[in-house]
């Protein structure tokens, strides 16, 4: 079985405990305007273009004019000479198919680098979009005794099947309100809440991350409502972390030919005072807040 991967590399403590080999899997079921990995959204991948380096000669079908590429024409192209015959650094496909066993072999070779409790993390995109391949890869990693982590938005009906295969479960919880979440991501909240309840009841190591976006979920009332959802649940083995909005992925939206809609949102950035307020509300509710 193959896994479609758009990025891989090592990271320390940000994607699970210790030093970790992180595979970013292609495809996502959400469309968050603040996403820092927009190249990972399209399920089959997307064309990444560096406009400054474009050359008309890369496309024999006339899709390139100056520093502009006609993506509608590209979508109809079946030969993709720009990626094969006329390859250049200004145009590339976001992802590549990788055999599960090849990734497992790479993970095994990297064992000496998994210090401080490290291992392999599957991130995205959204790992559950490639559910069958993700499950097989996790099974093989566990068979090899490698510590596993996944980062997920929690919106897959079969997410619970992965719990026994995951040593550390990281879930993004983006909003407490169904209408606001659906408007921003295209996905409703019911299944996410159900999976969160199941995770808190069954999984021994859960980290829930809340991305704080100014004007979307950063008001004092939002902090109270987030905490109110978790307060009656068993959170003794759960940690919470708040991630402030950033623009690290802004340039990649243009490379994907997508508009960066966050520029329309005023004051999307949140300050330290907002993060401190959320932390105070959560700790008052008996919820354990960390910062990685």
Least Cα distance to 286 among 217, 218, 238, 222 occurs for: 238
Q: How far apart are CA 27 and CA 4, in angstroms?
A: 8
Evaluate whether 94 touches 45 at the Cβ level (below 8 Å). Answer: yes
* Start-end of H helices in the chain: 71-76, 100-109, 131-143, 178-185, 190-202, 220-230, 250-255, 272-284
Across the chain, which distance is largest between two alpha carbons, in Å? Answer: 63
Per-residue pLDDT of the chain (292 residues; tens, 9 = 90+): 999 999 999 999 999 999 999 999 999 999 999 999 999 999 999 999 999 989 899 999 999 998 899 999 998 999 999 999 998 889 999 999 999 999 999 999 999 999 999 999 999 999 999 999 999 999 999 999 999 999 999 999 999 999 999 999 999 999 999 999 999 999 999 999 999 999 999 999 999 999 999 999 999 999 999 999 999 999 999 999 999 999 988 999 999 999 998 976 768 899 999 999 999 999 999 999 999 8
**C-beta neighbour count of 57 within 10 angstroms:** 11
**C-alpha–C-alpha distance, residues 170 and 152, integer Å:** 6
Global confidence as pTM? 0.95
């Amino acid at each position: 079985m193959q896994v479609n991967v758009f990025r891989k590399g090592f990271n320390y403590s940000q994607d699970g405990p210790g030093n970790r080999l992180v595979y970013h899997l292609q495809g996502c079921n959400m469309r968050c305007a603040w996403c820092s990995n927009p190249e990972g959204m399209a399920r089959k991948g997307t064309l990444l273009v560096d406009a400054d380096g474009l050359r008309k000669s890369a496309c024999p079908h006339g899709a390139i004019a100056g520093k502009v590429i006609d993506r509608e024409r590209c979508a109809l192209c079946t030969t993709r000479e720009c990626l094969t015959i006329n390859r250049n650094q200004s145009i590339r496909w976001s992802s590549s198919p990788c055999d599960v066993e090849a990734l497992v072999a790479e993970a095994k070779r990297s064992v000496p680098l998994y210090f401080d409790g490290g291992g392999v993390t599957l991130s995205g995109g959204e790992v559950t979009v490639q559910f069958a391949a993700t499950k097989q890869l996790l099974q093989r990693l566990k068979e090899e005794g490698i510590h596993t982590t996944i980062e997920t938005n929690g919106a897959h009906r079969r997410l619970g099947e992965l719990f026994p295969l995951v040593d550390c479960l990281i879930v993004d919880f983006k909003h407490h309100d169904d209408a606001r979440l659906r408007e921003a991501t295209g996905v409703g909240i019911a299944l996410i809440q159900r999976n969160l309840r199941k995770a808190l009841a069954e999984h021994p190591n859960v980290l829930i991350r809340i991305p704080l976006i100014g004007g979307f979920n950063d008001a004092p009332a939002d902090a109270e409502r987030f905490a109110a959802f978790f307060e009656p649940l068993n959170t003794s083995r759960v940690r919470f972390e708040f991630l402030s909005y950033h623009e690290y992925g802004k340039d990649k939206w243009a490379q994907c030919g997508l508009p960066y809609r966050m520029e329309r949102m005023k004051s999307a950035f949140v300050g330290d005072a907002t993060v401190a307020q959320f932390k105070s509300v959560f700790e008052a509710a008996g919820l354990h807040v960390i910062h990685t």
